[in-house]
Structure 1
Amino acid sequence: MLVLEAKLKGKQSQYNSIDEAIRTALFIRNKALRHWIDNKNVGKNDLQKLCAVLAKEFDFANKLNSMARQSSADRAWLAIKRFYDNCKASKPGKKGFPRFKKRGHSVEYKTTGYKLSVDKKYIIFSDGFNIGKLKLIGTRDLSFYSVKQIKRVRLVKRPDGYYCQFCIDYERKEQHQHNG
C-alpha cells in the first residue's frame, strides 16, 4: 500500500462541512465503543450493523456516507482487537483498553462518497454534508494510478490546513542480482 497526500484548497463553508463530517465519524466510533462495553460478545459485524441503526436514529449520522460510517466502526473494532491481542499475549503493564475520543482529526471514505475529476486535480465529495469540489495541491501526481487502485480516501485536519490522503493498492518490485 502506498499513501499519497495532497493539501485541500476550498472555501470556509467547505472546511466547516469537513469538520462536521469528522465530528460525525468520531460520534459513530464512540457509539460503537459504547455498544461493545455495554453488550457481551460483540463482534465486528455487530458494529457494522450498528452503523445502519445509528443512521436511522440520528439525522446527522445519516448525512455521512455509509462506507465512512463503517470505516469509523472499523476504527473502533481495531482498538478493541488490539486490546484483546495484548491481553492474549500477556503483555506486561497496561493492555491498552479502548478509550472514548474527545477530538477527531480525520474521516475516512472507503470506495464511495467521493469522485476524482478527469484530470485528477479536484476531488468531489457527494455525501449529505455538501462538501463539494475541492482542489488538490501537492507534488505527487495521481494520474499515474487508476481510480480502481485507490482503496481509501481520508480527510485529515491539521493545524496548518486540511489534507486528503489516498491509500493506493500498489506493489513495488525492485529487481536486484546477487553478486556473491
Structure 2
Amino acid sequence: MTDHKDDHQCWMNAITTGVFQVPANNPEGPNDIINVLLENPSSKTLTVYWVFEVSDIADYGINSPVVASAPFKIVVAPHSTKIHGLSAQSPGSLADSLYRFIFWGDIDLEEKKDKLSIEILAGTSTSSQLTSPKLSSGGASVLFRHENFVETKIKKNDDPVPLQSNTK
C-alpha cells in the first residue's frame, strides 16, 4: 500500500500564468521580448524561482511536446524592483510557441506586503540587440497582472527542482 503522506510532502505551492500565446506584432512593431517584472515591497530580501514551459506551434490539432526550462533563482532586494526578460531569437519569433510561466518561493496568489508582486508584459524592445528591458511599445494582449495568476502545485525532487506541475 502506498503512503500518500510522503507523496504530499513532494508538492509545493506555486502560481502560474496558464498557457498563453504571444502575437507576432503589436501596433508599433514585433513582440520581441517578454518582461517579467518583480517588486519587493518588504524590508527583507525575497527570493522567487521561475520555470517557463515552451511548446512549438505546429498547426491546429497537432500535438507538440512541452519543454521546461531549468529553474531560475531571482533575488530581489528590499523596497526595490527587478526585471528579467525572455528575448525572441528573431523578430516576431515569440509567436512561434506557446508559453506557461510558473513561480514559487516568496510569492503568493494574493499580493501581500511581505511577498513579491509580479507582472508579465510582452512588447517591442527599445534595443535592436534585445539588451534592454525597456519597451518602446507593448500590447495588452500579453499582460499578466498579479491578480491574473492562478494557483498550482509543483512536484519537486530531492534538490527542490520542479519535475512537473499540475494546475488546480
What TM-score do you get using the length of structure 2 for normalisation?
0.23
Higher strand share: 2
Please identify the structure whose Cα radius of gyration is greater: 1
Higher helix share: 1
